Amino acid sequence: MDFHNTLIKWYLQNKRDLPWRKTTDPYQIWLSEIMLQQTRVAQGMPYFFSFTKEFPTVFELANADEEKVLKLWQGLGYYSRARNLHKTAQFIANDLKGVFPPTYKELLKLKGVGEYTAAAIASFSYNEAVPVVDGNVFRVLSRYFDIESDIALPPTKKEFAQLAYELMPKEEPAIFNQAIMEFGALQCVPKSPDCSVCVFNGSCLALKKKKVDVLPVKSKKLKITNRFFNYLVLEDVLGNTLIQKRTSKGIWHNLYEFPLLETNGIVDFNFVAKTIREGILSSYTITALEECSHATVIHKLSHQHLHIQFWKVKVDENVVNGLNYNELKSFPFPIVIYNFIENEEKSR
C-alpha cells in the first residue's frame, strides 16, 4: 500500500477529536495554528476556547485592545504571536473587509504566518495542495526514509517540503497534512516510539537500520544565559502597589511587571536597600524593606534562566498611579509574576 493510503487509514482510525478540526473557517484555523506554534495541543486548547468565545470573528479580535489580547494570551508564551495576531486581525478586518487571503502565497504575507502556518491554513481551509513541514513531519519522514539531513538548517526544510509534496495525494491535501502531523504526535513520537505496533514497521528504514533513536538529526544547541531580577513590590498605606509595562525589546514585550532592579548576580538586603534609597525609588520615604524569600524562584525560559527575587517595599506616601491587588489582575503579566500576585493575595 502507498505511504499516503496507509497513513490516512491510520489517521481515520486514531485521530483525536480536536475543536479546530470541526471547521474550515480560516479565522479559527488561523487562530489555532498560531497558538500551536511550538506549543502542545493540550496547552493550547483552553486558549483556543477562550479566544473563540471572546472573539467569535476576526472583527471582535481586531476591535479589542492589545492589552486584552495579551491578557487572554497570558501564560501561553511567545507573546509576539499575540501581538502579531492582533495586528493581522486588524489588517484583515479593516483592509480586507474580513476576508482572509485566498491562497498559500497570499497568506504567507501575513504577520506571524510563515511557511508552515500558511500551508496549514491553505490546506485545511481551502484544500490547496501545499505540504506542511513542522517538527512532526521532520521526524516522520526522516525516519521512514532514513534522511540524515540536519533539520536545524534552512535548506533541509525545502528538502522535506519537496518530499512531502510528492507523497501528498493532490486531491486530499487537508487530510494528508493532518494525518502526517497526527502520526508524528501520537505514534512516531520523539522518545521511545512503540514501533512494534506501527503501521509502517514493515517499511520504515530507520526501524530496519535501528536508527529510530538517532533520527531526525538536529544540530543546534542553544546557549542559556543567566539573569538576575529583583522585583520591587511597593506597598503604600492604602495597600496599593506599582506596575509598569515592559516596552523594551526582548522578553515579555508589552507585558507588565513590578519595578525591576536587574543585577549581575544574587544580591542581598543591603544592596537592595542602598540601591532603592539612592536610586530608582528615592522619591519615596521607605519605611520597611523585606525580602519575599518564599517567592524566590528560578524561572526557566528556553534561552534564559531568570533568578527572581521579590522585595516588598513599604512606603509612606501614596503610590502615584497605584493599584490594589484586585485591579492588578486585569493586566497581562508574565506567568511567573502573575503566580506571585495570586499567592500574595491568597496569603492576606
User: Which of the residues 33, 115, 182, 344 is marked catalytic?
Assistant: 33
The CA distances from residue 338 to 39, 215, 254, 258, in Å, are 20, 39, 15, 11
**Secondary structure of residue 26 in the 3-state scheme:** helix
Cα–Cα distance, 264 to 328 (Å, whole number): 29
The DSSP line for 242-295 is --EE--SSSTTTT-EES-EEEESS---HHHHHHHHHHSTTTTS-EEEEEE-GGG
Q: Should residue 220 be labelled a site residue for DNA when binding is judged by CB under 7 A?
A: yes
Binding-site member from 6, 23, 57, 84 for DNA (CB under 7 A): 84
* 262 included as an active-site residue: no
Of the pair 3, 79, the CB lying nearest DNA is at 79
Q: Should residue 142 be labelled a site residue for DNA when binding is judged by CB under 7 A?
A: no
Q: Which helix (H) or strand (E) holds 176?
A: helix 173-186
Closest separation in Å from C-beta 40 to DNA: 5
Closest CA to 118 of 136, 102, 95: 102
**Which residues in the 285-304 window bind DNA by CB under 7 A?**
299-304
Q: Should residue 117 be labelled a site residue for DNA when binding is judged by CB under 7 A?
A: yes
Kindly determine how many residues on this chain lie close enough to bind DNA according to the rule CB under 7 A: 66
Do residues 12 and 176 make contact, with C-beta atoms less than 8 angstroms apart?
A: no
Binding-site member from 97, 170, 221, 348 for DNA (CB under 7 A): 221
Q: Should residue 39 be labelled a site residue for DNA when binding is judged by CB under 7 A?
A: yes
Cβ burial, residue 36 (10 Å; 0-12/13-18/19+): buried
Of the pair 178, 240, the CB lying nearest DNA is at 178
**Which residues bind to DNA, rule: CB under 7 A?**
18, 20-21, 32-33, 36-43, 75-80, 84, 110-118, 120, 134-136, 138-139, 152-155, 178, 181-182, 184-185, 190-192, 218, 220-223, 249-253, 299-304, 334-336
The catalytic residues are: 33
